[in-house]
């Protein structure tokens, strides 16, 4: 018996099973215990259309896979060695658990007799991801003691894949490999090929497993309350909220909402805007909020909204004013943080719009244009921010206001928005001009953002604009290595306000704000960019920013550049919060 050959043949069978489930990308970190999986993944890529991605940092690797899964809407496999390498995947796994990207975690492990006895690099990996994964599978070590052992393992994996195909999220497959791990000749592996072939033949089609689970993704009226509300929609004053979703679906929602003539509140994660833009700002004006509060129903498409102000307006509407609230999202999770009375449809956005469109039919909408007077609020925000937008010195707020100009330089680009201050500035100030937007707004952490963006770009094979804060970039500095060679232009704009400026917008204790919350660091990123071979500019004005990016794009088009560009916008601490406060005061003082 060759244990090394048996390890390889089981790994080949596992990876062949994943390939049948439409896996097209495999992300690999270095390691010895994972050798059987890594080598078989490489061989699989050589005989199929699977692409291999590597990264030396497992935490970044997990987020790279997350970005690929976001972009492709397909399951992405991750291979890591045993020990803390497995633990380092947890942040990305937690995010996927909340936002349902499909990750397949192949974690190598020590065999059971080496766990808990002081063996090197052996930790308890069983159940390590807890509730953050949809299912955990503990495989036995490859062995010949039971003739059908491999078949049973593959059947369990197939069942997990079928469940994942319906509910999304991550699937953890823990793979304990005894030594030796390295074969000396292919004969050691080929001697077990018959066992692999028999196990693969015994696998039924994945769809037959999926039939064992209920179908969640059906757009239909499932109760009397939904049926009653649909019949009343033409006579109600409604509000349409467009949350996180692909641009194609956001456009569909927007077109349908425009036919109704209801106000459209579009989250930046939708990639679209409306005549009611900047609502996070104008909702602070009591008179504008009072007009919107005449709403009798709220239809929300997509979840995990950026604007806290919208949530603060929505809560009393539903809980105190008996406004109907119906959420449409394909995620099977509960999406109701305020525990409001809520109607819920778990289906694709497209199918949900088709359902509502058919239900309403040609009925005339009696409330078309009921909130058109609020369009003046959008114009007001544009007037009071004009001075900031035209200032000579580049600021974070100016960047957010003028972002559409930058996007004009990157036609057909994808946009990745980081967390903390930058996403809130875009929510307040930026009317996005129809662009695919990607975020990590499940756990909303600041870790792994560069790696996720790199994964999105690889999955989309398109130009990329990434907006990120300085603390977030420090947290994921290793992942700049993923941008050392890119097939398409990638512009990373980092707003450096020397720490966590988001806390300027929060009621944290003033005396401890700097030492415990903002944590100023004094670092800049020119040398970090050079360390990874990236291009770098530090513009002082908006025009020089655009010129520098255009110069980079010209060089990329000529084949002179094949790396990303880091654009560092350095601003004084508290500047953004002060400008937002001045904008808010100007809006509140305006009489309507």
The DSSP result for 483-534, as a single string, is GSS-SS-EEEEEEE-SS-GGGGGTT--TTTIIIIII------SHHHHHHTT-
**Token pair for 197:** 């072939």
pLDDT (average), residues 162-167: 92
258-276 pLDDT, tens digit per residue, is 999 999 999 999 999 999 9
pLDDT (average), residues 22-45: 97
**pLDDT (0 to 100) of residue 444:** 95
% of the chain exceeding 90 in pLDDT: 86
pLDDT surpassing 90 at residue 579: yes
Instruction: For residue 412, give the DSSP letter.
Output: T
**pLDDT (0 to 100) of residue 204:** 83
What gap in Å lies between CA 557 and CA 574, rounded to an integer?
38
Which of 414, 423, 463, 480 is CA-nearest to residue 446? 423
Q: What is the secondary structure of 130-178 as a DSSP string?
A: GGGSSEEEEPPPP-SSSTTHHHHHHHHHHHHHHHHHHH-SEEEEEEE-P
pLDDT surpassing 90 at residue 586: yes
**pLDDT (0 to 100) of residue 517:** 84
Q: Let me know the angle formed at the C-alpha of 461 by 459 and 464, rounded to the nearest 5 degrees.
A: 95
Top-confidence residue, 550 or 515: 550
What gap in Å lies between CA 38 and CA 142, rounded to an integer?
16
What gap in Å lies between CA 242 and CA 353, rounded to an integer?
12
**Sign of the torsion angle spanned by Cα atoms 413, 414, 419, 423:** positive
**pLDDT (0 to 100) of residue 351:** 94
Report residue 145: phi and psi, to 5°.
Answer: -70, -35
512-531 pLDDT, tens digit per residue, is 878 888 889 999 999 999 99
pLDDT (average), residues 567-572: 96
- Give the pLDDT band (50/70/90) at residue 475: very high
Which of 136, 79, 69 is CA-nearest to residue 100? 69
- Give the pLDDT band (50/70/90) at residue 320: very high
What gap in Å lies between CA 120 and CA 530, rounded to an integer?
37
List, in order, residues 6 or more apart from 411 with CB less than 8 Å away.
463
pLDDT (average), residues 484-508: 90
Which of 443, 221, 207 is CA-nearest to residue 333? 443
pLDDT surpassing 90 at residue 547: yes
- pTM (two decimals): 0.96
pLDDT surpassing 80 at residue 212: no
% of the chain exceeding 70 in pLDDT: 99
What gap in Å lies between CA 162 and CA 147, rounded to an integer?
25
Per DSSP, the three-state class of 562 is coil
**Token pair for 334:** 């509960």
Buried b (16+ CB within 10 A) or exposed e, 219-240: bebeeeebeebbeebbebbbbb
pLDDT surpassing 90 at residue 222: no
- Give the pLDDT band (50/70/90) at residue 176: very high
pLDDT (average), residues 179-206: 90
- Give the pLDDT band (50/70/90) at residue 500: confident
pLDDT (average), residues 73-94: 98
* Cβ atoms of residues 479 and 27 within 8 Å: no
What gap in Å lies between CA 470 and CA 566, rounded to an integer?
12
pLDDT (average), residues 356-375: 92
Q: Work out the mean pLDDT of the chain and round it to a whole number.
A: 94
Q: Is the peptide bond before 239 cis (omega within 30 degrees of 0)?
A: no
- Give the pLDDT band (50/70/90) at residue 214: low
371-430 pLDDT, tens digit per residue, is 999 999 999 999 999 999 999 999 999 999 999 999 999 989 999 999 989 999 999 999
> Tokens 């977030």 — which residue?
472
pLDDT surpassing 70 at residue 49: yes
């Amino acid at each position: 018996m060759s244990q090394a050959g048996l390890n390889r043949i089981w790994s080949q069978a596992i990876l062949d099973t994943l390939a049948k489930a439409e896996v097209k990308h495999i992300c690999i970190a270095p390691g010895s215990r994972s050798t059987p999986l890594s080598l078989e993944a490489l061989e699989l890529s050589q005989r199929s259309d699977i692409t291999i991605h590597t990264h030396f940092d497992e935490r970044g690797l997990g987020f790279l896979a997350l970005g690929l899964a976001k972009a492709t809407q397909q399951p992405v496999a991750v291979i890591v060695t045993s020990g803390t390498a497995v633990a380092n995947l947890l942040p990305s796994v937690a995010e996927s658990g909340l936002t349902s990207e499909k990750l397949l975690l192949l974690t190598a492990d020590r065999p059971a007799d080496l766990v808990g006895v002081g063996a090197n690099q052996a930790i308890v990996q069983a159940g390590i991801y807890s509730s953050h994964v949809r299912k955990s599978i503990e495989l036995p070590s490859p062995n010949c003691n039971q003739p059908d052992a491999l078949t049973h393992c593959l059947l369990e994996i197939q069942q997990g894949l079928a469940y994942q195909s319906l509910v999304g999220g991550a699937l953890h497959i823990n793979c304990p490999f005894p030594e030796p791990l390295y074969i000396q000749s292919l004969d050691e592996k080929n001697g077990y090929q018959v066992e692999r072939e028999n196990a693969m033949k015994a696998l039924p089609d994945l769809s037959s497993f999926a039939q064992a689970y209920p179908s969640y993704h059906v757009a239909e009226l499932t109760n009397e309350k939904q049926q009653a509300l649909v019949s009343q929609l033409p006579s109600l004053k409604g509000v349409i909220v467009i949350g996180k979703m692909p641009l194609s679906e956001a456009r569909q929602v927007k077109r349908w909402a425009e036919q109704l003539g209801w106000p459209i509140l579009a989250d930046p994660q939708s990639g679209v805007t409306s005549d009611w833009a900047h609502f996070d700002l104008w909702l602070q004006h009591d008179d504008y909020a009072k007009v919107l509060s005449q709403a009798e129903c709220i239809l929300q498409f997509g979840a995990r909204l950026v604007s806290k102000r919208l949530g603060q307006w929505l809560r009393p509407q539903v809980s105190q004013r008996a406004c109907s609230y119906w959420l449409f999202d394909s995620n099977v999770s509960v999406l109701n943080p305020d525990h409001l009375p809520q109607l819920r449809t778990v289906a694709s956005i497209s199918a949900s719009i088709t359902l509502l469109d058919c239900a309403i039919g040609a009925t005339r909408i009696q409330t078309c244009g009921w909130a058109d007077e609020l369009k003046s609020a959008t114009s007001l925000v544009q007037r009071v921010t004009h001075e900031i937008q035209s200032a000579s010195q580049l600021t974070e707020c100016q960047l957010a206001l003028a972002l559409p100009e930058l996007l004009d330089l990157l036609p057909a680009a994808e946009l990745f928005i980081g967390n903390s201050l930058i996403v809130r500035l875009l929510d307040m100030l930026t009317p996005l001009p129809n662009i695919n937007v990607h975020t990590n707004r499940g756990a909303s952490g600041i870790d792994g953002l560069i790696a996720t963006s790199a994964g999105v770009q690889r999955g989309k094979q398109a130009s990329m604009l990434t907006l990120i804060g300085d603390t977030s970039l420090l947290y994921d500095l290793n992942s700049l290595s993923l941008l050392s060679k890119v097939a398409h232009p990638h512009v990373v704009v980092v707003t450096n306000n020397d720490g966590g400026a988001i806390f300027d917008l929060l009621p944290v204790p003033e005396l401890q704000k700097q030492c415990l919350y903002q944590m100023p660091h004094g670092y800049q990123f020119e040398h970090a960019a050079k360390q990874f071979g990236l291009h770098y500019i530090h513009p002082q004005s908006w025009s020089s920013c655009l010129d520098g990016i255009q110069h980079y794009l010209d060089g990329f088009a000529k084949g002179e550049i094949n790396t990303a560009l880091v654009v560092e916008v350095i601003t004084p601490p508290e500047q953004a919060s002060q400008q937002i406060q001045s904008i808010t005061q100007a809006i509140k003082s305006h009489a309507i």
